[in-house]
Structure 1
Amino acid sequence: MTTPSRRAAMFVPAERDPRVLGPATGDERGLLTDFLAIQRTTLELKCTGLHDALAQRAVPPSTLSLLGLVRHLADVERRWFRRVLAGQEAPPLFSSPSGPDGDFSGAVPDPEVVARAWEAWRAEVAFAEAFVAGAPDLDVEGHDSWRGTVSLRWVLVHMVEEYARHNGHADLLRERIDGAVGL
């Protein structure tokens, strides 16, 4: 465990940080997908090197855990890109009407559960990336029962916000597990 002198230090040394920052200018699609890719990579970084500890809960009675975040974000990716924008019949993988918090409550320190979560998350991210790359523009629309009609542009902004919020949770969870802090 290393303890940077400032919380704003990088989580990993700059020369090993996979979050290569893209350009700060350019087209809207490029900027949005770069920001989302950085947020996705940040989640992976915060989980790096942990196995059973991924399922460690924040504080009772919370079921919040890093593994729960991976499972939750797999379902979020699936909802917005597969169901809403692509119009696929794609029910959540980890939650259900009878277990709406299954993404978190089912996050247990079992190697198969961990492997399935990462496999699902990576598959949903790959689908989303392919969908965005193939979309003719950011005005592609889908219908959501919560928001009504939404555009691909809105979904990308929402996903950056969703990951950024949960990466804040991941910062605190990781620090609780092994003391590691940083951006």
Structure 2
Amino acid sequence: MNGPTRRGDLFDDVDGARRFTGPTTGDERRMLIDVLRAQRSTLRLKCSGLGPELSLRSAEPSALSLLGLVRHLADVERRWFRQVLAGQDAPPLFSSTTDPDGDFDGATDDPQVVAAAWEAWRTEVAFAEQFVTGAPGLDIEGEDSWRGTVSLRWVLIHMIEEYARHNGHADLLRERIDGAIGL
């Protein structure tokens, strides 16, 4: 018996199917790291196989695009892990006080812009992963101009929320581009 079918093609990605296989009990740090890793993998999956299409906008007047999300999340990773928790002088890569929407507005189909966005995102994720692994505990703190004192625990929870929200956007953007849908 044939059942209902989906209107779009599901992502056919073996690695994507393993994104959410981490522990569901046990060590808090391990669970937070794994859920954030899965959210980061989801962003990569939603962007997989695309080139210039990554810069396609959602709908006027929005500047939202998959590439804009990559650039935005590179800046978000940089802010929380480098600036706030590590205390580095690391200004955003794609936005600024004079161009607060530069992460989205500057997301063009130029292959160099696409490559630079992915390189920045990978670099910031690698720094964050190394920082979290080396941190003595989840209660280490940093100072943020927006939230005040924040712990590594709060930053990890916030990053999971940030990716989850934007991965919802990525679902819709990807479906608009080529009809691909999925988890």
* TM-score, with length taken from structure 2: 0.93
> For residues 59-80 of structure 1, what are the alpha-carbon distances to aligned partners after superposition, in whole Å with 9 as ceiling and x for unaligned?
0110000000000000000000
Does the CA-based 8 Å contact 1:47-1:174 persist in structure 2?
yes
TM-score of the pair, normalised by structure 1: 0.93
1:143 counterpart SS class: strand
Percent identity of equivalent pairs: 72
CA distance in 1, matches of 2:42, 2:98: 31
Q: What is aligned with 2:100? A: 100
Give the superposed CA RMSD.
1.7
> CA 1:6 to 1:35, structure 2 compared with 1: closer, same or farther past 3 Å?
farther
Q: Which residue in the other structure is 1:127 paired with?
A: 127
C-alpha contact 2:52 2:109 (8 A) present in aligned 1:
yes
Where does residue 58 of structure 1 map in the other structure?
58
State the 1:17 CA deviation.
3.1
- Is it true that 1:22 corresponds to 2:22 in the alignment? yes
CA–CA distance in structure 1, aligned partners of residues 94 and 14 of structure 2: 34
SS class of match (1:150): strand
Q: Is the contact between residue 18 and residue 41 of structure 1 (CA under 8 Å) also seen in structure 2? A: no
2:48 alignment partner in structure 1: 48
The equivalent of 1:136 in structure 2 is 136
Q: Which runs of 4+ in 1 moved over 6 A?
A: none
Give unmatched runs, 5+ long, in structure 2. none
Q: How many residues align?
A: 179
Q: Which runs of 5+ in 1 are unaligned?
A: none
Aligned twin of 2:179 = 179
SS in 1 for 2:149: strand
1:16–1:164 CA distance, 2 compared to 1 (3 A)? closer
Tell me how far apart the structure 1 counterparts of residues 15 and 82 of structure 2 sit (CA, whole Å).
Answer: 35
